Structure 1
């Protein structure tokens, strides 16, 4: 599953990795089912993000889909198999699968590098949850989004009930989840569900350019800043200050900080 390509990136059956500059494009690759997530793709996605997180040459990650859609959600075939299991195994099997679903969301949200979701088409259910686990969402014009879980008799299981209120506010999040209605790009941009909307042929170039803008800081400073910001809504001001002190102490020891200070002083010239 993880044979190395000539370029040193791992190779998978249902997930592709492409490097553009210092950005790793992780592409869901089951276009025949609009990139619905099955167990194998979930494991491959986890492995792909683990690789990107530990690879120094990767400074940012772009998550997108193959074909006409970003991700249509969980694989319906997997749902049928789950329902066909013996009754006394359904709950435990579901609990076990949920652990893997949550691990998949965690590697996206917890990545130490900026992660941009590039919505090349529909993002429904778990697909939208995955997009919201990213730091930023860029949608191509015409992409559609839906929190479609209740239409399947389910609740949002991929972090949507955590991420969506933080993007659009609690009342609007409840409305979008309880109705499961489809949101188009203009509305998504207006309510903050997505951050930018671009023409379809400009989607990946725009994301790669934004990734370059987001990674001008040193890797340590970027990773520590992102980790603290991700905790800021749940933390007190004193807790955030404490985390900042610890992070700054780490930054003081890095070569990147030393080089940046020396470059600034060199450019500024001798002080008077």
Structure 2
């Protein structure tokens, strides 16, 4: 697959982007700190996903990390700043930072295109939350992951308490969160925490191949399907049916639908 650098129109110190065909690769790029997330990196990540979602030539997105780790979680510098901040500022500063954290997770989860986390190494705390915000997770053999928040006297703040029960079930999610234990890739696959495990040297190629398989449909039908499926567990059957009716009405009007129907009818006509 031909690899080209993208021109995304924004400067980034801690995020790299590239294109492989119609697949955008967004790479966390602080390898010396196992891609720990700081405030600047979080903002750059949001900008990168907004670019990928906006660009009509991009059909899928892969989120991965540079170096040996996917993401070790939040930057320890933020923890240090919190300890040193005046007591009266801690809560409000934390609230503002949480808003940005949740915006970063939301832009991943809400992307209109299929998003695959290519877990190239360890994913701890917020790093694992971000991976679970993606539609799918491909991990390398030997990758480890942990919901490590309680070990720091914290709760999962990046959506893990929403995403994890949907992946592994509620009792298993409680066990993983309350224990904070480290899970290896093979166990993660067996419990549904990750979807596929591959050799390290095949990770990005495997993710790109899967991304192409997931984007055979029109951009509109893929985006609308994703948006409805993401609401399935919070909605009644009638609510999902109503969303489906609205989405289908939109699909009826698209150029892709008209072209595919005309091609199908022409093919059937040739068989007569």
TM-score bracket, normalised by the shorter chain, equals: over 0.9
* Counterpart for residue 148 of structure 1: 148
1:91-126 per-position Cα deviation (integer Å, ceiling 9, x unaligned): 000000000000000000000000000000000000
3-state SS in 2 of match to 1:70: coil
Q: How high is the TM-score relative to the length of structure 1? A: 0.97
Q: How high is the TM-score relative to the length of structure 2? A: 0.97
For 1:181-196, list aligned pairs within 5 A.
181-196=181-196
* Counterpart for residue 94 of structure 1: 94
* Counterpart for residue 246 of structure 1: 246
* Counterpart for residue 23 of structure 1: 23
| Range 262-271 or range 80-89, more displaced | 262-271
3-state SS in 1 of match to 2:24: strand
3-state SS in 2 of match to 1:216: coil
Paired with 2:54 and 2:127, the residues of 1 have a C-alpha distance of 24
- Contact 2:15–2:44 (8 Å) recurs in 1: yes
Paired with 2:204 and 2:171, the residues of 1 have a C-alpha distance of 32
Closer/same/farther in 2, CA of residues 239 and 231 from structure 1, 3 Å limit: same
3-state SS in 1 of match to 2:70: strand
* Counterpart for residue 70 of structure 2: 70
After superposition, the CA RMSD in angstroms is 1.2
- How many equivalent residue pairs? 268
For 1:194-205, list aligned pairs within 5 A.
194-205=194-205
Paired with 1:6 and 1:188, the residues of 2 have a C-alpha distance of 32
* Shift, 1:9, TM fit: 2.1
* Counterpart for residue 80 of structure 2: 80
* Counterpart for residue 104 of structure 1: 104
* Shift, 1:8, TM fit: 2.4
Paired with 1:271 and 1:35, the residues of 2 have a C-alpha distance of 57
Q: Which runs of 4+ in 1 moved over 3 A?
A: none
* Shift, 1:270, TM fit: 5.1
Closer/same/farther in 2, CA of residues 7 and 192 from structure 1, 3 Å limit: closer
3-state SS in 2 of match to 1:71: coil
Paired with 1:84 and 1:242, the residues of 2 have a C-alpha distance of 51
